[in-house]
Structure 1
Amino acid sequence: MTQKNMVLGIREVPPLSKWLLFSIQHLFAMFGATILVPFLTDLSPAVALVSSGTGTLAYLLITKGQIPAYLGSSFAFIAPIVAAMTTSGVAGAMVGSFLAGLVYGALALLISFFGTDWLIKVLPPVVVGPVIIVIGLGLAPTAIDMAMNVDGEYSGLHFSVAALTLLITIIGSLFFKGFFGLIPILIGIVGGYLYAFMVNVVDTSGLSAAWSKITDASSIGEFFQAVILVPEFVVPFVDYNPVDVISWEIALIMVPVAAVTIAEHIGDQMVLSKIAERNFLKKPGLHRSILGDGVATIIASCLGGPPNTTYGENIGVLAITRVFSVFVIGGAAVLAILFGFIGIITELIASIPTAVMGGVSILLFGIIASSGLRMLVDNQIDLGVKRNLIISSVILVIGIGGAIVNIQIGDVNVTVAGMALAAIIGVALNLVLPEKESAYGNGNMFKSEDAE
């Protein structure tokens, strides 16, 4: 892309009059999805916003300010976080996230020495596509439960809230243009929230209490105390001892998911490179962008937030606005951090009814599954080839069916389940079955130059 086709180049500083507006666009684009992940995993939305912002700033620093990418909460880790929390609480999920971040770092080191061809051999589209489908469909029961049920019982009123939220989000995705076309998820949440408020589904007690503190403040000091609220961070060696939590089970629950998010990351970098007409895989290099993703996830794990990943929503903002400035991305990151410390915003997020988030989740989780299908289609994977059909079929049934494997390591019983097991078996099948060249299809997106 020539400079004249850009509103702002990658290293250009926007004028102050437009900087805030451009950054708010990115904040809104990521906001709905980023707060949904902690909402589904019982983590703090405020911490998720802070870790998203700090992770993005770290990413920009590691990539030398050359890749305009925003990082938000990763949907791929929702089920593993829930499983890890069931096993070892929030501390277990954070330790697992930390280990996944270390995998990114190790992979970045390997890529810097050996290039990317070996990685593509391990994670071709025929493996990654079905695993992404498993992520979406595996979360489908969660979305339906949130949309329909209250304490395990069906509620027609709550389902109407979810249905209207879904409808507004769909209409926004299809028909809204310009800035509003970039934030259909946020618009759906707002619309669903307003309807839920009108039918008395919203619990506003926390929001009212926060507002009362602000209005009752009699001095500047009291006002700031009422507005600013430190998020509920979960810090290692302060709130828990990682040594007491780390286990093979936690590692096997969380670490295999990194293979999926790494593949998604590569795809995002390719799309972003195409949009900006810059080869970000060459400069500053895939090893730097993967390292940045990993460091962002490690930062999140040290704060008590969900793992981070590059966001397609924000890539869409770049494509439409043609504003590629990393300073705009950095501005959005700073705003996210500030939002995390504003108490009334935290209470507003906490007051969103489960049915509203369930309605949005129906679409989002379906889009995740469809993205996996699209990866197979875009790369022209031939399911008429028996090896491809076998690999994809086994991954889908094992992942969605909830298969588990129990491994006894000394006195410790380790369970590998669901998506993690499906990913491991998919990688293994791809490496041992013949006709490996068919795993890449006829597309170029994940084509290995020396695929055999």
Structure 2
Amino acid sequence: MNEQKDVGIKEIPRLDKWIILSIQHLFAMFGATILVPLLTGLSPAVALVSSGLGTLAYLVITKGQIPAYLGSSFAFIMPIIAAISIGGPEGAMIGSFFAGLVYGIVALIIKATGVQWLMRLLPPIVVGPVIMVIGLGLAGVAIDMAMNDPVTESYSGLHFGVALFTLAVTVIASIFFRGFFGLIPILFGITAGYLFAAWRGIVDFSPVQEAAWIQAPDFLIPFVTYSPSMSIEIILIMVPIALVTLSEHIGDQMVLSKVAERNFVEKPGLHRSIFGDGIATVISSFLGGPPNTTYGENIGVVALTRVFSTFVIGGAAVLAITFGFVGKISALITTIPSAVMGGVSILLFGIIASNGMRMLIDNQVDIGRKRNLIISSVILIIGIGGAFIQVTDTIEVSGIALATVIGIVLNMILPGRDRVKTSAEMFEDMSEKKESSNDGAA
């Protein structure tokens, strides 16, 4: 049987194949990337444009050597909502900008000193429970959108029925669809839920009819559309989340390295990939979009197709930017009922929490050890319980940010820390697992 030939990182596919492969990546990122702005009140069109521009910047900074796509980060959903409640969307952009700066600072330190200190600061026993807090902390948001009529803000059996139908289709697509279609269950769920909601009469199509085909998104540009103002409270809410997403970033780089059989952490270097991620988030903050992060969905597409070409990733980024300027598409996205988004969010937010648990399992963290049990327990209760520290009358550290800081402190002061593996050792372990898996399959 003939095996499909891999498409190399620097290889440019034939034009027709190039377009089709880029569209696959667009579909893979589309559902999740527009979900974040829809949940937070930001513009989906701006999110698409900032996602595309951020990905192109990332490819340039990493010298076109890492086939990664960047989209809206789920980890920042709650912080963005909190920031908007304090300083509006403009305030959230200020927080996003400083979160991107953290990436840049960490990249410079890694360039000078290596990555070991970051792995020691953010081991799985800290990051795993914090990721669980991110998912579980959003549970109420998902249920409210699923059960309540957004007009009356009270329980609606009709809306809950739409949400459950959307959830059911998403679950079926996740379990039974194979190949590329199995990578886009969110898109299937949203599409099916939207059609069902339209049939039940809760979709208003007037914005689509009124929108122009070519239309600039509602950008939020500092010193152009608004005058930025500093808010320490917003910075304290959003900046600590960058520490969590940094750990996720390292995990994504290790997975990509395993899939491509090239150690991206060493070359072009983790400092370049982290810096690229930070620049993408800064670009997004200058336009009014949510922070960006490398997308597991697109890593899945790379693993499935064995197409590693960064030109294909760049093509998807150009398509995303183009879609952001198509007014009809942007208007169509805004007509998606909250019940539909609530349905997919029930699954997605649960998956975020489960991924935190998976991080503990994959890294063989022994929760039976008192040290690990204490750290994880305190992080979960502090984060989900809504604890906060009132710094001044207007500044408080709360939720995920407080849980992250306390988790880091506990990990540093409690005795019995495990030795942290180097990036080379982690890559070697993953390669050995892959080889043993292949031997077993043979």
Normalising by structure 1, what TM-score? 0.91
Give, as a single letter, the amino acid of the residue that structure 1 aligns with 2:415.
P
Task: Give the structure 2 partner of residue 145 of structure 1.
Answer: 144
**SS at the partner of 2:42?**
coil
AA of the residue aligned to 2:166: T
- Write the letter of the residue equivalent to 1:229: Q
How big is each residue's C-alpha offset from its partner over 1:34-91, in whole Å with a ceiling of 9 and x where there is no partner? 0000001100000000000000000000000000000000000000011111111111
Whether the 8 Å contact between 2:108 and 2:271 is mirrored in structure 1 is yes
Q: Within 1, Cα distance between the matches of 2:98 and 2:135?
A: 23
Mapping 1:23-422, distance limit 5 Å: 23-150=22-149, 151-210=152-211, 226-242=212-228, 245-408=229-392, 413-422=394-403
> For the residues of structure 1 that align with 2:24 and 2:168, how far apart are their CA atoms?
23
TM-score (norm 2): 0.93
Change beyond 3 A, Cα 1:21–1:49: same
**Deviation of 1:181 (Å):** 1.4
- Aligned residue for 1:405, secondary structure, equals strand
Distance apart, 1:437 and its partner CA: 1.3
Deviation at 1:208, TM superposition (A): 2.3
Tell me the distance in 2 between the aligned counterparts of 1:118 and 1:178: 39
**Aligned residue type for 2:316:** A
Does the CA contact (< 8 Å) of 2:76 and 2:291 recur in 1? yes
Report if aligned partners of 2:79, 2:237 keep a CA contact under 8 Å in 1.
Answer: yes
User: Counterparts of 1:280 and 1:361 in 2: how far apart (Å)?
Assistant: 32
- Give the number of equivalent residue pairs: 422
Q: Secondary structure at the match of 1:383?
A: coil
In the TM superposition, residue 436 of structure 1 has moved relative to its aligned partner by 1.1
Where does structure 1 lack aligned partners over 5 or more consecutive residues?
A: 211-225
How far residue 177 of structure 1 moved from its aligned partner, in angstroms, is: 1.4
Moved over 6 A (4+): none
Measured in 2, the distance between the counterparts of 1:247 and 1:154 equals 36
Match of 2:413 among 412, 424, 432: 432
1:438 to 1:384, Cα distance in 2 relative to 1, 3 A: farther
Task: Report the Cα offset of residue 391 of structure 1.
Answer: 0.5
Q: Distance in 2 between matches of 1:383 and 1:447?
A: 25
**Is the 8 Å Cα contact of residues 297 and 306 (structure 1) preserved in structure 2?**
yes
Give the Å deviation of 1:439: 8.2
**1:164 & 1:145 partners in 2: Cα distance?**
16
How far apart in 2 are the matches of 1:5 and 1:436?
Answer: 45
Q: 1:155 to 1:141 in 2, by over 3 A?
A: same
Counterparts of 2:310 and 2:420, CA distance in 1: 36
Give the secondary-structure state (helix, strand or coil) at the position aligned to 2:60. helix
What letter matches 1:232 in structure 2?
A: D
**Matches of 2:362 and 2:18, distance apart in 1:** 36
CA deviations 1:132-164 (Å, max 9, x no partner) are: 000000001100111111132111111111111
Question: The residue matched to 1:168 in structure 2 has which SS?
Answer: helix
Question: Which stretches in structure 2 are left out of the alignment for 5+ residues?
Answer: 430-442
CA distance, structure 2, for counterparts of residue 204 and residue 66 of structure 1 = 43
Identical positions, percent: 68
In structure 1, distance between residues paired with 2:342 and 2:394? 34
| Rounded Cα–Cα distance in structure 1 between residues aligned with 2:355 and 2:257 | 19
**Aligned residue type for 1:366:** G
Amino acid at match of 1:90: P
